């Protein structure tokens, strides 16, 4: 952990006792969100999300692969995340860290549980189906990678195209239809700092937090949850956070579906 | 005329006062970092801080050992305080401190003296190369920000700034403005305008 | 230099290249410096269809410790292609053998110009991420990284640039794109220190006569003036 961030913990707690945050946000406010899609032309889908100073790029690639034995009628989804060394002085080059793997798995779970992508729609012909590779690239770290990554993945998938397939091969230059996205799952991540809970923690707040909870929802259901760190939440706190996750859903969904194309 | 120079640009010998921002090859001096040349003076726009004796720093306690305290100055040199039995401060990891540079040992370690604990304020980090401008001639710039915002501002030459009390948010935005526009002339006046305007808005 | 049987014609009837360029014409290049918040310095370039992000951290503590040099700083360089950077395939994430070689030769370029003995026992970390690739990414990476290093205030003796020259039949071409890279008769990426004229990167494969090599190098040095100008403007624009 960065000692400079750590040194801010006292100050952040002290401010939160007066219900104040360093960037003068309300406790349940997101930072500014901006989403661009279709920014990389070699990727079938792409999106960049700026959540305050956190910046995440997501690329979606489709590739024809052999179908799995137990699911011969559908394609596959593979989500990966990289905490690039250029995003923070604390990130090193090398194999994916446990943090990166957790991040990718939590995003993967929400997309799957929300049935956002219809895997059966990826079927090509007997023995062949598209595999969707969702690669999450962290470009600048300032906290709350979960929400930024979820939004980037959802926006990139929503903007993705399916290439043509003929004579047993993909024709990547020709994209023939939009990828079918049936559902949008939106994330909300909370941090518990002292006795207070804040939405969308930045890096300084994350250095001060004792516990973290990510809740991904659609209009009707909770689709994925992940609690992090050693601190605990009360039942009441969790119920309140779930309410907040549903409350933020429509707004976040609008951001994702209305993302401007470059 | 202000001209912005990039690494490798040739410069006038007399203009190159700051040893850390030029090198000499075949008797000709060249820039090594982004600089602005104005009135035959070369002022660095980017670059790292090379500590000198007596300069104040702000840092965070990183490690407490039996005989030394290691301090994170967010700098490439290691910084330590040598403990003495007469010390009245007990250091904890994460404590913010101010101190003064005693010397740099072996080009590798900064020895700090006169440490003082700083509590409940906030830390702001800017590029160290902007610090002289934030301080201003005879403390004019920081003095102005401090008197408008009623904040206590302690500036480390390493780029860390401690702010406590008063309108801290305004102090931060004024300091960040100076850092962003350090190369512009008339900065004292434009920062004063920012402070006056913002304070007017809050009072209304 | 794939010797494919169905090698495409790379020059049009009017003598221009497939993308309409003259033989000695650069692809459009734009560079923006200071694009990432956390990094000490950064730059983003669009060069033809290449999109490249470079960032610098440090000088900082050396990890792992065995890389530490008591006399000078070490440059740690990472060049990597994003898994979504190319049209044809989803790449494996993380550096492969090709990327490790490019990282090494890129590091050696900057070892020449960075004043390493100012910072003994430290590391300067340089990351080059290829977000979209269309040939010539190592040259684009070096050109972008030089801007990121200057933006970070890392002291350097010069602002290096890099570009490649190549050959189609008996014609020398500048700044090869992906398809030219794949099917041309020679490819030669070069990095230059413009102040001294020293070549800091030189790689080549294919076939070139001595005269063709000379012409290729001349073409690179001529184009370098334009590239240097764009790098300089990117650095100056930070203060506008």
Chain B residues 14-43 with CB within 8 Å of chain C: 20-21, 23, 25, 30, 32-34, 36
Closest CA relative to residue A159, chosen from A74, A256, A63? A256
Residue C2 has pLDDT above 70, yes or no: no
Lowest-confidence region among A69-73, A212-216, C52-56: A69-73
Looking at per-residue pLDDT, the higher value among C135 and B39 belongs to: C135
Same fold, B3-44 and B56-118: yes
Residue C233 has pLDDT above 70, yes or no: yes
Tokens 């309108």 correspond to B167
Burial of C227 (0-12, 13-18, 19+ CB in 10 A): buried
Integer Rg of chain B from CA: 19
Closest CA relative to residue A78, chosen from A18, A39, A133? A133
Q: Say what percent of chain B tops pLDDT 90.
A: 55
Q: Which two tokens stand for residue A26?
A: 């309300």
Instruction: Provide the 10 A C-beta neighbour count for residue B111.
Output: 17
Residue B94 has pLDDT above 90, yes or no: no
- The CATH number that domain B122-203 falls under is 3.30.1370.10
Over the stretch C106-164, which tens digit does the pLDDT of each residue have? 999 999 999 999 888 999 999 999 999 999 999 999 999 999 999 999 999 999 999 99
Q: Which two tokens stand for residue C205?
A: 């494969």
Q: Which two tokens stand for residue A164?
A: 């043509």
For the question of whether the overall pTM of this predicted structure is more than 0.80, the answer is yes
How high is the pLDDT of residue A199? 98
How high is the pLDDT of residue B199? 81
- CA-angle at C100, arms to C94 and C102, nearest 5°: 120
Closest chain A C-alpha to C115 CA, distance in angstroms: 21
- Chain A residues in contact with C49 (beta carbon < 8 A): 41-42
Rounded Cα distance, A42 and A198, in Å: 38
Q: Out of B7, B33, B108, whose CB is closest to C121? A: B108
Torsion angle defined by CA atoms of residues C176, C182, C183 and C188, in that order, rounded to the nearest 10 degrees: 50
Q: Which two tokens stand for residue B80?
A: 């330590």
Q: Say what percent of chain A tops pLDDT 90.
A: 85
Q: Out of C58, C121, C153, whose CB is closest to B34? A: C153
Looking at per-residue pLDDT, the higher value among A240 and B197 belongs to: A240
Torsional class of B39: left (φ above 0), alpha (ψ -120 to 50), beta (otherwise): left
User: Is there a contact between C74 and C161 (Cβ–Cβ < 8 Å)?
Assistant: no
Is there a cis peptide before residue C59, judged by omega within 30 degrees of 0? yes
Closest CA relative to residue A172, chosen from A163, A181, A162, A184? A163
CATH of B56-118, one of 2.40.50.140, 1.10.1200.10, 3.90.1150.10, 3.40.47.10: 2.40.50.140
Rounded Cα distance, B15 and A25, in Å: 47
Is there a cis peptide before residue C64, judged by omega within 30 degrees of 0? yes
Domains within chain C, CATH numbers bracketed: 29-237 (3.30.230.70)
User: Is there a contact between A139 and A185 (Cβ–Cβ < 8 Å)?
Assistant: no
Residue B62 touches chain C, beta carbons under 8 Å: no
Query: Taking the domains of chain A in order of start, what are their residue ranges?
Result: 3-257
Residue A5 has pLDDT above 80, yes or no: no
Rounded Cα distance, C229 and C156, in Å: 17
- What average pLDDT score do residues A101-110 get? 96
Residue B204 has pLDDT above 60, yes or no: no
Rounded Cα distance, A97 and C177, in Å: 35
Put simply, the answer to whether B46 touches C41 (Cβ < 8 Å) is: yes
CATH of A3-257, one of 3.30.230.70, 3.40.225.10, 1.10.10.10, 3.40.50.1110: 3.30.230.70
Instruction: Provide the 10 A C-beta neighbour count for residue A65.
Output: 17
Q: What's the mean per-residue pLDDT of chain B?
A: 89
Could you tell me which chain C residue has the CA closest to the CA of B73?
A: C60
- Chain A residues in contact with B201 (beta carbon < 8 A): none
User: Is there a contact between C53 and C131 (Cβ–Cβ < 8 Å)?
Assistant: yes
Using the CB atoms, write b or e for C145-170: b if 16+ within 10 Å.
bbbbbbbbbbbbbbbbbbbbbbbbee
Over the stretch A241-257, which tens digit does the pLDDT of each residue have? 999 999 999 999 999 98
User: Is there a contact between A50 and A63 (Cβ–Cβ < 8 Å)?
Assistant: no
- The CATH number that domain B3-44 falls under is 2.40.50.100
Put simply, the answer to whether B6 touches C150 (Cβ < 8 Å) is: yes
Burial of B163 (0-12, 13-18, 19+ CB in 10 A): buried
Query: Taking the domains of chain B in order of start, what are their residue ranges?
Result: 3-44, 56-118, 122-203
- Chain B residues in contact with A22 (beta carbon < 8 A): 122
With the C-alpha atoms ordered C224, C229, C232, C234, is the resulting torsion angle positive or negative?
Answer: negative
How high is the pLDDT of residue A86? 96
Put simply, the answer to whether B47 touches C153 (Cβ < 8 Å) is: yes
Q: Out of B74, B119, B120, whose CB is closest to A4? A: B74
With the C-alpha atoms ordered A111, A114, A117, A119, is the resulting torsion angle positive or negative?
Answer: positive
User: Is there a contact between A31 and A38 (Cβ–Cβ < 8 Å)?
Assistant: no
Residue B4 touches chain C, beta carbons under 8 Å: yes
Rounded Cα distance, C68 and C88, in Å: 40
């Amino acid at each position: 952990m960065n000692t400079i961030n750590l040194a801010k913990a006292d100050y952040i707690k002290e401010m939160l006792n007066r219900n104040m945050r360093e960037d003068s946000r309300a406790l349940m406010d997101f930072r500014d969100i901006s989403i661009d899609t279709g920014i990389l032309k070699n990727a079938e889908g792409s999106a960049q999300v700026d959540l305050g100073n956190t910046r995440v790029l997501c690329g979606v690639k489709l590739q024809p692969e052999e179908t799995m034995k137990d699911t011969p009628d559908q394609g596959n989804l593979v989500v990966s995340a990289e905490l690039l060394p250029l995003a923070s002085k604390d990130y090193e080059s090398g194999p994916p860290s446990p943090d990166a793997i957790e991040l990718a798995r939590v995003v993967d779970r929400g997309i799957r549980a929300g049935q956002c992508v219809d895997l059966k729609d990826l079927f090509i012909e007997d023995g062949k189906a598209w595999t969707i590779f969702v690669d999450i690239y962290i470009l600048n770290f300032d906290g709350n990678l979960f929400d930024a990554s979820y939004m980037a993945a959802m926006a990139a998938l929503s903007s993705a195209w399916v290439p043509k397939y003929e004579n047993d091969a993909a024709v990547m230059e020709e994209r023939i239809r939009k990828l079918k996205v049936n559902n949008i799952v939106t994330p909300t991540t909370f941090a518990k700092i002292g006795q207070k809970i804040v939405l969308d923690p930045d890096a300084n707040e994350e250095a001060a937090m004792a516990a973290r909870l990510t809740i991904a929802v659609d209009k009707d259901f909770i689709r994925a949850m992940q609690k992090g760190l050693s601190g605990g939440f009360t039942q009441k706190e969790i119920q309140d956070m779930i309410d907040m996750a549903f409350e933020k859903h429509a707004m976040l969904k609008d951001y994702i579906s209305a993302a401007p194309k470059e | 005329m202000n001209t912005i120079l990039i690494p490798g640009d040739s410069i006038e010998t007399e203009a190159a006062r700051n040893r850390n921002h030029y090198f000499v090859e075949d008797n000709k001096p060249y820039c090594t970092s982004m600089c602005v040349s104005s009135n035959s003076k070369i002022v660095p726009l980017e670059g790292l801080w090379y500590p000198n004796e007596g300069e104040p720093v702000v840092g965070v306690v990183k490690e407490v050992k039996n005989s030394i305290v290691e301090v994170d100055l967010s700098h490439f040199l290691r910084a330590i305080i040598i403990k003495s039995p007469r010390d009245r401060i007990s250091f904890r990891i994460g404590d913010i401190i101010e101190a003064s540079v005693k010397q740099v040992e072996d080009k590798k370690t900064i020895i700090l003296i006169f440490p003082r604990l700083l509590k409940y304020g906030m830390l702001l980090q800017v590029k160290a190369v902007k610090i002289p401008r934030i301080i201003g001639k005879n403390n004019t710039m920081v003095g102005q920000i401090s008197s408008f915002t009623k904040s206590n501002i302690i500036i480390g030459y390493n780029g860390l700034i401690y702010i406590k009390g008063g309108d801290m948010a305004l102090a931060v935005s004024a300091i960040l403005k100076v850092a962003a526009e350090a190369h512009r002339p008339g900065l004292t006046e434009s920062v004063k305008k920012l402070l006056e305007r913002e304070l007017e808005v809050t009072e209304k | 230099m794939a010797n494919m049987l169905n090698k495409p014609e790379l020059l049009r009837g009017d003598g221009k290249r497939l993308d309409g360029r003259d033989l000695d014409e650069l692809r459009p290049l734009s560079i923006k410096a200071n694009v990432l918040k956390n990094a000490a310095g950064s730059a983003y370039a669009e060069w033809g269809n290449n999109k490249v992000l470079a960032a610098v951290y440090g000088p900082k503590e050396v990890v792992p410790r065995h890389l530490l040099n008591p006399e000078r700083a070490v440059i740690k360089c990472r060049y990597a292609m994003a898994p979504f950077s190319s049209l044809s395939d989803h790449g494996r994430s993380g550096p492969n053998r090709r990327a490790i070689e490019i990282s090494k030769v890129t590091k050696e370029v900057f070892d020449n110009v960075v004043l390493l003995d100012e910072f003994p026992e430290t590391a300067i970390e340089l990351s080059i991420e290829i977000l979209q690739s269309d040939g010539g990414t190592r040259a684009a990476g070096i050109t972008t990284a030089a801007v990121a290093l200057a933006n970070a205030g890392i002291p350097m003796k010069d602002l290096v640039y890099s570009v490649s020259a190549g050959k189609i039949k008996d014609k020398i071409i500048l700044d090869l794109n992906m398809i030219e890279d794949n099917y041309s008769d020679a490819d030669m990426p070069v990095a230059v220190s413009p102040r001294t004229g020293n070549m800091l990167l030189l790689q080549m494969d294919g076939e070139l006569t001595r005269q063709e090599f000379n012409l290729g190098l001349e073409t690179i040095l001529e184009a370098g003036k334009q590239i240097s100008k764009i790098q300089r403007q990117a650095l100056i624009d930070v203060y506008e």
